[in-house]
Copies of this chain bind each other. A is one copy, B any other.
């Protein structure tokens, strides 16, 4: 049992372990309507991070005493398969999964027109098949597409990405190893049309200036994600549906 040595994450040329520059996103693949039985679904792959999302509803809230008279309730579960991580994840929900379910739900609530479906429920399930950093943001990206695919009315889509700080540099889209050995990880969910933040967490240490630069870098990444989301919807539904 020896203390793990932190690897060098960015070389002298500013190149990251996987060959990216600090502001590069990993290869991104987005698809909608990937699961047959749900009302809406999406798949997001960001490097080795692989996430499904599915939506059921609007449907009758159940049990009934949880129903809200003037709008729908939104349920959300972020869950990881046991083999998605380096160490096997225990079965059942960890505290981390419960917290992330909450922040993803709150982000989605910010854009869904819940008032249109009083006394109803909308269920959102995010399933992380492989976790290599950025699973909550990939999950939120997928979940907002699954809602769109289910025809749930929304103010706009949500695009999400993480920024981080490793070896003193602010980077876009940290991988698992960069998250683990880096100095900070900051996942951000954005409603791009209104230019507002719907999910924001920070775990690590940044100066105020680094924090500002992190926010700016996130906006760059968000634009790329948002573009890919729109393309995925266009492939499925044609040009018109990108105006959700």
Contact = CB atoms under 8 A, between A and B. Distances in A.
A64 B64 CA distance: 11
A64 B65 CA distance: 9
Contacts of A65: 62-64
Contacts of A63: 63, 65
Interface residues of A, number: 4
Interface in A53-109: 62-65
A20 to B, nearest CB: 43
Nearest to A63: B65
Nearest to A60: B65
Nearest to A64: B65
A62 B65 CA distance: 9
A65 B61 CA distance: 12
Contacts of A62: 65
A63 B65 CA distance: 8
A10 to B, nearest CB: 41
A90 to B, nearest CB: 16
Interface string A19-62: 00000000000000000000000000000000000000000001
Contacts of A64: 65
A62 to B, nearest CB: 7
A68 to B, nearest CB: 15
Interface of A: 62-65
4 contacts: A62-B65, A63-B63, A63-B65, A64-B65
Q: Which 4 A-B pairs have CB atoms at the shortest separation, nearest pair first?
A: A63-B65, A62-B65, A64-B65, A63-B63
